[in-house]
Amino acid sequence: MIYLDYAASSPLCEEALQTLMTMSRDVYANASSLHDGGGQAAHILERSRAFVAGLIGGEPDRLFFTSGGTESNLLAIQGLARSLPAERRHVLVSALEHHSVKLAANGLVELGYEVELIWPDARGRITPERIEPLLRPDTGLVSVQHANSETGLVQPLAEIGTFLREKGILLHTDAVQSFGKIGFSVDELGVDALSISSHKVQGPKGVGAVYIRPGATYASVYPESLHEGGFRPGTVNVPAIAAFAASAVHTCGLIEQRTEQYVSLRTYLTERFREYELPAYVVTDRLPGNERNILPHIAGCAGLGYEGQYVMLECNRKGLCISTGSACSSGHQDIPDTLTALGLSAGEGHSFFRISFGPHTTTQHLDRLVQALHELAQTK
């Protein structure tokens, strides 16, 4: 099997695997217990918290572990919104968000908040200029993803953060795809809350985190919770959290090296498309302008002339794992808002498929992929 779906999930790195096995065997006590076993688990938990917070330039006591990116987005968005005064119940969410952010926003509507979408410009960017016309006196919260999971487009959060901070409006970002792929700090981004996930950085599934800026208020979605400083309920999974910390430290330490690898692979892929005279193309390569800030490991493609899901199934038949976008939306036939916003036609949107690289991806893997796509194109 050739795996080219790292944006959906990644295999455990050796550091995470060894940590998970060791901690599962040796640190099994409940971190809330008052005996020595509990104290040992609590120590590992806080060490892990410090490691992960340090990777984003944050304060450890403002980082809360969760069950993953989806819960992180839910708790961050709803926690910030619930802390807003009654006269600030207007929320803006970018149209490019992951399904979990849209679910969190829908939950706010049910609670009486008003939610509006922010659509990007022709380059796929959410900018202060796109946000400003939508602002109202009652706007209290904005959520804009750091990087898109389908196309890899990175948003100018620092500009947005500065703009909103001056107006006293909170900013949340879903940084699940960008964490461990590009370097950043919470101060540089100017966000009030940030969501990340373990399995995107070669850690175990079922673990994530929310960071909330010191000074930013939030209200727990689960009042009177006793774990994670009252942020969420449930016994803390210390072994998985420790493995998350190990994988995050490992992955973040290799950002520069892997960026070079992924950029080279992306260039190689587009060259092979041309050599085989395939109609497929990377959608971000066709955006207007020269300033394209894109995650190096994602290549969202279209134009082959077949439904993206059919392309994925044909590749799977030949031992190649690719995707048609976010795994959390798999099985849905609607064109992602991301692609519609970039101006793709209905046909182009339906033909979309995504390739995403990881540390084990080679040019030989891409040769196999392009050959499979070429064989498919020949059947038309």
Q: At what angle do helices 238-252 and 14-26 cross, to 10 degrees?
A: 160
Catalytic, out of 301, 315, 321, 328: 328
Could you tell me the CA-to-CA distances from 135 to 118, 152, 163, 377 in Å, in that order?
10, 27, 12, 47
Active site residue 328: yes
Spatial distance between the Cα atoms of 43 and 16, rounded to a whole number of angstroms: 18
Question: How far apart are alpha carbons 245 and 250 in whole angstroms?
Answer: 9
Instruction: Determine whether 263 is exposed, middle or buried from the number of CB atoms within 10 Å of its CB (0-12, 13-18, 19+).
Output: middle
Strand partners, 64: 210
- Catalytic positions: 328
